[in-house]
Each structure stands twice: as C-alpha cells, then as structure tokens.
Amino acid sequence: MNLINIFNPLMIWLLRSPLHRIASKNTLLVTFFGRKSRKKYTTPVNYVLDGNVIFITSLRSRTWWKNLRGGAPVSIHLKGNVMETYGEVIENSEKVTEQLMGYLQKVPQYAKYFKIGLDPNGHPNPEDVTHAAQERVMILLRLNI
C-alpha cells in the first residue's frame, strides 16, 4: 500500500477536526473538481501565506494541480475555516524560479526539502532554486480578506 493512501486520509481527517491546530500552521486542504471527470477531490498541501496570497508548490510529476490549469475555483480548509477562492498554476520554469525564490525567502527552513542550499545569510542558492524549479510548479490562491 502506498504511504500517501494512508497519510492523505489521515491529514484530511485531522485538518477537518477540532485538532487541526496540530497541522494547520503549514498544511491546508484544497478541494477542487476534476477537469474531465468532474469528480470532487480533496488533497492536503503545504502552504506559505504572504498577505492575502497562499503559495503552494507541487512536483510536476503529481497530477492533482493539473485540474487548476488556466485557473479554477477551489475550496480551502485553512486553520479550521472553509473559504472559496481561485487557484492559478504557474508552470513556466522562469516564473516558477521567481516564485520559489520568494517562497524560500519567507520560509528558508523549507530549502532542505527542495535540496536547495542556503548562503551564510540564509538566502537560497539561485542555481539550486533554478534547478528545483524544473521539477515543480507553483499554485497561487488569493484570499478575500
């Protein structure tokens, strides 16, 4: 059995429960509809909040984010609250590099998960960010707060 088949349902349950505070500081639920199937999907994702924009990154090899290509309405479960918003996918490697750099400047401790080195001042190595961006997409969600 795939570890994701165990982990995702557990995280979905946790983030919808009164115990969500255990994980909701950096994980939220995104609910969307399949482009072809019109089936409703919910997936837990790590996020970084900057003002009213939520930044999410995903491996290009994953498939869930493809349902948001061209923009799509999504529902999110964020810190115990359900909100409607709109998801926008950034696939262009140069733009992903730019967004990923900003993401890591907000949370440099995440650099290790992307195999990105930090300089002595804690800034991400630009070459590492460019390399990591080849394997990733960025998803932006804008909140109406």
Residue listed under structure tokens 């493809």? 66
Q: What are the φ/ψ torsions at residue 22 (nearest 5 degrees)?
A: -60, -35
Q: In terms of pTM, does the model score above 0.75?
A: yes
Predicted local confidence at residue 3, as pLDDT: 62
The topology (CATH level 3) of 3-142 is: Pnp Oxidase; Chain A (2.30.110)
CA distance 116 to 128: 5
The neighbour count for residue 95, using CB atoms within 10 Å, is: 13
CA distance 14 to 8: 10
pLDDT, tens only, 97-134: 999 999 998 899 999 999 999 999 989 999 999 999 99
For residue 125, give the amino acid letter: N
Where do the H-state alpha helices sit in the chain? 3-16, 93-106, 126-133
